[in-house]
Structure 1
Amino acid sequence: MTVIAWIVEGTWPACIDAARTHAPPDVDIVLLHVTGPDVPGAAHGAFAGLLGRARPDRDPGTALEHLAAASAEELLAHAAERLGRPCTRVERTGRVEREVVAAAEGADLLVLARDGDPSHLGPHSLGPASRFIVDHAPCPLLLVWPETAPGIATIPPPPPHHR
């Protein structure tokens, strides 16, 4: 059995705590972090378009790629320490939502945290990447709140035609 915990800045502690609580001790836990290509890609493009390609050693996109990799490695290390049991750390790069769905293929459970509006129950509690993952995951999901869930009084009212 394999449980994947999607590690994202800001919400990862809730995913680790949920994986530790809900995954039996003999289960393989994979800590997954995905770095999007947006910022390094923009820097590469700006450098190539504005400054030419004469000095690739000065390309700021390469420096941003190294910083992103170091940040992901540090985040995964903190997550593994919080988990407190053997795990596999996986870093992927690409469109975040698609990389998470691809990594979840064959998994028995994917743990992810809500990353949208934390003050209300409902669809806006999921950001765009999380919404895509919830809609397309090829395995069961455990969706957790990064903090205490808001009360049921925060559920949006029904549309006027359903009242």
Structure 2
Amino acid sequence: MTVVVWITEGTWPTCVDAARTRVPAGAEVVLLYVAGAEVAGAAHGAFAGLLGRGHPAPHHPAPHHPGAGWGSDPGDRMEELASATGEDLLRAAAERLGRPCTVRVAHGRPEREVVAAADGADLLVLARDGSRTHRGPHSLGPATRYVVDHAPCPVLLLWPDPAP
């Protein structure tokens, strides 16, 4: 049995606790964090737009940011930070799970990466990420709604807090 647990900033403890208590001891558990490409992509685009397209950037230190040249694309740093955040969350999640598991950081659109990671899995564990005060469709954010609608395996959908 293979179980994929989607690790996100706001809901990971609930998902890990559910895997720890509901998944059989011999199952393979994959903890998945997806570093979304939206923010870094916007930074890459803004940086390219400010400097023009197709021209190499001059390497002059920016007056308000010592040591950083104009050639330093902030999108690269944002990608590094997203991966580091994911690795920190995965480390904490693996420790909380308290048993052997596989940890994975994926990059891209979260909803698509989670659905792809669940291909061939026996169960996908995730939590509601929308409104925590109302039941119904607004309790799921757009990415989670996509995953629930397109998951290629059974889904364990959890409330991160007690259900309203």
Match of 2:143 among 98, 114, 129: 129
CA RMSD for the aligned pairs?
1.1
Map residues 1-40 of structure 1 onto 2, 5 A cutoff.
Answer: 1-40=1-40
- Match status 1:106 vs 2:120: yes
Question: 1:122 is aligned with what amino acid?
Answer: G
- Structure 2 gaps of 5+ residues are 60-69
Whose helix fraction is larger, Structure 1's or Structure 2's?
Answer: 1
TM score, norm. by length of structure 2: 0.88
- Greater than 6 Å deviation, 4+ residue runs: none
1:66 to 54, 71, 80: 80
Alignment-derived partner of residue 158 in structure 1 = none
Following TM superposition, by how much is the alpha carbon of 1:51 offset from its aligned partner in structure 2, in angstroms? Answer: 2.3
Displacement after TM superposition at 1:120 (Å): 1.3
Counterpart of 1:100, as a letter, is V
Q: How many residues align?
A: 150
Equivalence for 1:82: 96
Query: What runs of 5+ residues in structure 1 fail to find an aligned partner?
Result: 151-163
Q: Deviations over 1:15-51 (max 9, x none)?
A: 0001111110000000001111111111111111102
1:51 aligned onto 2:65 = no
SS of 1:29 mapped into structure 2: strand
TM-superposed deviation, 1:122: 1.1
Deviations 1:64-108 (A, max 9, x none): 111111111001101111111110001101111011001000000
Letter in 2 for 1:48: A
Task: Give the structure with the larger strand fraction.
Answer: 2
Q: Per the alignment, do residues 57 and 25 of structure 1 end up closer, same or farther by CA in structure 2, a change over 3 Å counting?
A: farther
Letter of the aligned partner of 2:161 in structure 1? Answer: E
**1:155 aligns to what?**
none
Measure, in 1, the Cα distance between the counterparts of 2:155 and 2:71: 43
Cα shift at 1:57: 4.6
- Give 2:3's aligned amino acid: V
Partner Cα separation in structure 2 for residue 5 and residue 23 of structure 1? 11
TM-score, L = length of structure 1? 0.89
